[in-house]
Amino acid sequence: MKEIVLDTETTGISIKEGHRIVEIGCIELENLIPTKKTFHHYLNPERKVSEKALEVHGYTDDFLSNKKKFFEIVDDFINFIEDKKLIIHNAEFDLSHLNNELKILGKKPILNEVTDTLILARNKFPGSPSSLDALCKRYRIDNSSRTLHTALIDCDLLAKVYINLIDQKEPTLDFQNQDTQHKNETNEQISYFKKVVVLSEEERKNHQIYLKSNLKKNFF
């Protein structure tokens, strides 16, 4: 099954205030594995970026001024996501902006099946932080490249978070014979073996004799 991990950046929060999309990023997954097919564009929003949005993604009016406009990439975008489930963190926000852009052009809204990872995370970890950064921390996903919000980087991180969320991966104890490494408080590496002791037939017989002669005396 093919899915599209999607993220947008905008000039501000509310479409009611005329805010527009400045970046779209998409990564295709097939059976939860990235296919290396991506869709990515910076966009000229034809308006100024708000100060708060600038703090989030860092895209200045000057940087965006020579980028393509949404109408120039819309057909390629629709073809890329067509008939595929969308994976979005806080889907209501991204879809409201995407559908607003489509409405401006007189096009139909997005009707794809959508999985909102924000809702997944809140259901799985009620009361816990559910931001993308918080989920990366929970699943030990390296998000050091995310100094600012950028659509394609966020998609890459979200794909990894999504796979963990739906796979319900939890730490498990491994009792097989193996070297296991732990770190003590000084970060010094300590290695130890978990050993399974197998009794010989003679030891097993002696143990049975011991049990028969001692259980009644001690417990009855």
Active site residues: 149
Bridge-partner residues for 10, per DSSP? 21
> What is the chain's alpha carbon radius of gyration, rounded to the nearest angstrom?
27
Residue 39's Cβ-side half-sphere holds a number of Cα atoms within 13 Å equal to 21
* DSSP states along the chain: -EEEEEEEEESSS-GGGT--EEEEEEEEEETTEEEEEEEEEEB--SSPPPHHHHHHH---HHHHTTSBPHHHHHHHHHHHHTT-EEEETTHHHHHHHHHHHHHHTTPPPP---EEEHHHHHHHHSTTS--SHHHHHHHTT---TT-SS--HHHHHHHHHHHHHHHHHT-------SS-EEEEE-TT--EEEEE-------HHHHHHHHHHHHHHHHHHH-
Bridge-partner residues for 116, per DSSP? 88
